[in-house]
Amino acid sequence: MTLAALVVVGYAMVSHAPVWLRIIVMVAFPLLAASVWQVVDQAIDDRVDGWRSAAENHLLGGVIVLVVALVGFRRQARDHEERYQPSHR
């Protein structure tokens, strides 16, 4: 589910770009997120011992995905509001 969400976020980041760029970003964004997550996971694991380490890692991952989703939805709403609206019909 997270991988699919990251692919969709990557697609949404360049929704007005050519198809070839959309494909590159759809693949690159999840890979970038995974590499950043590995660094964060290792940093937490180095500082916290025991069962709390795994729980905190999963909680932090969930919070990060939630924040990214909320920012993405807010951006889409703002883009929709800023589009040209004709004054006549």
Over 70: is that where the pLDDT of 43 sits? Answer: yes
DSSP calls for 7-44: HHHHHHHTTTS-HHHHHHHHHHHHHHHHHHHHHHHHHH
Over 60: is that where the pLDDT of 15 sits? Answer: yes
The residue ranking higher by pLDDT, 86 or 12, is 12
pLDDT at 89: 60
51-71 pLDDT, tens digit each: 666 677 777 777 877 787 777
